[in-house]
Amino acid sequence: MSRPLSPSSNPDLAAREELILKNLPLVRYIAGRMGTRLPPVMDFEDLVAAGVLGLIEAVDRYDWRRGVKFETFASTRIRGAMLDALRAAGWAPRSLVQRLRQVAAAQARLEQGQGGMVTDAQLASALGISADELNRVYEQAHQVSLVSLEEFLADDVHRLGENVADPESPDPVTILEEQELRRSLARALASMEEQDRLVLTLYYFEKLTLKEIGQILGVSESRVCQLRGRAVIRLRAAMASRGWA
């Protein structure tokens, strides 16, 4: 019988194994949120396997004295391991990130020019592409933002949305920057259209899956991918107007 994990001593091997097994559902939950439209070289179980390695690292490195819940610390490590695996698979090349930034910049210019939100048709016309091609751009934005939302939104922001600060390296300057970023993010979200704001809120703050969001909106999961991608592009445009891109 395994002994309970005692905060006053290092866990023994049995307690370590118990903690890993107890948190395997957390790995699969995070993989389920990230695992839409995976590249051909990686399937869901590959993502889970990468996450398990992150979980094991979290168990070995967790320090209860820092005042951070284990689930919070582990979620960061698990997601980080999955992101590393996705990046290694070449899912979000830098060229694609730059392309999506250009689309977001075009969105921002159009909004500034006409003083309000632009339609998909107006954006597609400005980019010289069809509506179907724009929807593919939105799907790419959805995929890229799963891997690197903070990179897509702003060059110098390292934590956003689901990303949790690493408790091992607290930095007062970074904390202040993050607080200002979150205030700007809240203002940017408030300025967006209701559907865009709803999709981002349900995904990032309510932690719903794409399937669950689709059920709420009455659309398919693939359409939610497009809507979320569009919302991310519009969010970047809104953040750019506030000096974060």
State the pTM of this model: 0.58
What pLDDT sits at residue 123? 92
What pLDDT sits at residue 176? 56
Per-residue pLDDT averaged across 223-237, rounded?
88
Instruction: Kindly list the structural domains of the chain, giving each domain's residue range(s) and its CATH number in brackets, ordered by start.
Output: 13-88 (1.10.1740.10), 94-240 (1.20.140)
Q: What is the pLDDT of residues 8-32, one digit of tens each?
A: 455 478 888 899 999 999 999 888 8
Q: What is the pLDDT of residues 181-226, one digit of tens each?
A: 667 777 778 888 899 989 988 887 787 888 899 999 999 988 998 9
Asked if the model's pLDDT at residue 69 lies above 60, the reply is yes
DSSP string, the chain: -PPPPPTTS---HHHHHHHHHHTHHHHHHHHHHH-TT--TT--HHHHHHHHHHHHHHHHHH--GGG---HHHHHHHHHHHHHHHHHHHTTSS-HHHHHHHHHHHHHHHHHHHHHTSPPPHHHHHHHHT--HHHHHHHHHHHHHHHHHHHHHHH-TT----TT----TTS--HHHHHHHHHHHHHHHHHHHTS-HHHHHHHIIIIIS---HHHHHHHHTS-HHHHHHHHHHHHHHHHHHHHTTT--
